[in-house]
Amino acid sequence: MTSADGTGPARGEDVTSVAAERGPLTMAAVALGKDFRLGRGQVLHAVRGVSLGLYRGAVVALVGESGSGKSTVARLLAGQERPTAGSIRLDGAPVELSGRRAFRRHKSKVQLVFQDPFSSLNPVHTVRYHLDRPVRLHQGKRGDEAAREVAALLAQVRLTPAGNFLGKFPHELSGGQRQRVSFARALAARPSVLLADEPVSMLDVSIRLEMLGLLDDLRRRFQLAMLYITHDIASARYFADEVLVMYGGEIVERGPAEELTQRPAHPYTQLLVASAPDPDNLGSTLRGGTATGGTATGGTATGARQPAGTGPAATGCPFSARCPLAEDRCRTDDPPLLRVSAVRAAACWRLDVAAPGILAQSQGGGT
């Protein structure tokens, strides 16, 4: 594995985040790394050299497949795992996690919402218990004051009237209602950072949008700095300001949500975009016999089917094992995030071939 020290190459420091337009920097990760020891001397580099910034009132999306390390990033930021490299800063100060008191102080500012509302709520406790506890712990409220706060929290996530929900157990709620309780529980600590790990992917398609709308509403009202982790790049287009694409533990591309999803530069992002089901994609690559058009991947470099079951490469660029553009250099040297424009970067040695239009535009545009 490259970067034995875990820090990895320099990561596009000269590229600014569009999320910074929304508000000041709240949380920053610099060259974050996490190795897991698997035993027998084997080490899994789950996260390598990840740098990102979360800004007040802005949504940054972390997009990638399962196993790409995106949840590990969230757990590192939440303080549930200790990084093996790099550092995390919150409100300008380095994050200190030694001892219960420091950990709790961190938790009251940085909250995590999990994917599965079935297993993240305790089945033997009521909604009231789930919300009352963080209100007491993090806000120090008691009695009537705490009860009022709990009712207000339920109103924030639109579970009204609160009286109908306070005494309910998780199994008495629908998936959407359960996830609302998870949001309310996260808000109970009055965090400045909300890390949402696939918050809607377990929910039905028809209510996902409503839940994303609710999250967006909460983001705006409480000016939360939000990290939205998803495998659904289309939802990131609609929901996020900036999108970071992860593959094999590294960020391979970052940029403004609309620009990145419409004109992806990295071959992996291009593959992700081409693979998303999209009915507006006329002449789909599926329905081979009945499709109206021919191939439909619209100018991406990676139309070809990838071999099944190929994981990230152990050396060089993690995507080199699957990348149709990979050459010798890609298999030996891991590319750093290279500046594509003032707000975009991609970790690819072959950007001149993968995204010639984007490069030419940014260089000609005098950025």
Partner 1 sequence: MTGPVLDIKDFSVVYRTPGGDVRAVTGVDLQMNAGEVVGLVGESGSGKSTLAYGACRLLRAPALITGGGVTYRGRRTAGPMDILRLGPAELQRLRWREIAIVFQSAMNALNPVLNVRDQILDVIHAHLRISRDEARDKVGSLLDLVGIPRARLRGYPHELSGGMRQRVMIAMALATDPEIVIMDEPTTALDVVVQRDILAQIVELKERLGFSILFITHDLSLLLELADRIAVMYAGQLLEVGTAHQLQHTPAHPYTRGLLNSFPSLRGARRDLVGIPGSPPDLHDLPPGCPFLPRCGYGTPACTDIDMSLAPVAPASAPGHVTACPFVRPDTPAPPGRPDRPAEASPEPATSPELTS
Among 4, 93, 124, 286, binds partner 1 (CB under 8 A): 286
SS3 breakdown of the chain: % helix, strand, coil, rounded to 5? Answer: 35, 20, 45
Among 115, 120, 126, 177, binds partner 1 (CB under 8 A): 177
Q: Using the minimum distance from each CB to partner 1, give the nearer residue, 148 or 329.
A: 148
Reduced to 3 states, what is the DSSP secondary structure of residue 188?
Answer: helix
CB 153 within 8 A of CB 184: yes
For 198: left if phi > 0, alpha if psi spans -120 to 50, otherwise beta; the answer is left
What is the C-alpha to C-alpha distance for residues 68 and 312, in angstroms, rounded to an integer?
A: 9
Judged by CB under 8 A, does residue 66 bind partner 1? yes
Residue 34 CB, shortest distance to partner 1, in Å, is 21
- State the nearest-atom distance from the C-beta of 12 to partner 1, in Å: 24
Pick the piece of the chain touching partner 1 (CB under 8 A) from 3-11, 18-26, 109-117, 210-218.
Answer: 210-218
Q: Give the nearer residue to partner 1 in terms of CB position, either 216 or 333.
A: 216
207's enclosing H/E stretch is helix 205-222
Q: Which of residues 302-331 bind partner 1 (CB under 8 A)?
A: 305-306, 308-309, 311
Coil, strand or helix at 114 = coil
Which residues from 71-110 bind partner 1, rule CB under 8 A? none
**CB 224 to partner 1: min, Å:** 10
Q: Is residue 284 involved in binding partner 1 (CB under 8 A)? A: yes
Q: Does 275 bind partner 1 (CB under 8 A)?
A: yes
Cβ atoms within 10 Å of 7's Cβ, excluding its own: 17
Q: Which two tokens stand for residue 68?
A: 């790409």
Count the residues of the shown chain that bind partner 1, applying the rule CB under 8 A. 66
Any contact of residue 142 with partner 1 (CB under 8 A)? no
Residue 364 burial (CB < 10 Å; 0-12/13-18/19+)?
Answer: exposed
Say if residue 248 is exposed, middle or buried (CB neighbours under 10 Å; 0-12, 13-18, 19+): buried
Distance, in Å, from the CA atom of 244 to the CA atom of 250, rounded to the nearest integer, reads: 10
- Taking CB under 8 A as the binding criterion, the range among 20-28, 38-46, 92-100, 231-239 that sits at the site for partner 1 is 231-239
Is 206 a binding residue for partner 1 by CB under 8 A? The answer is: yes
Q: Which residues bind partner 1 (CB under 8 A)?
A: 65-66, 148-149, 152-153, 155-156, 158, 160, 174-177, 187, 190, 204-210, 212-214, 216-217, 221-223, 231-235, 237-239, 258, 261-262, 271-281, 284-290, 298, 305-306, 308-309, 311
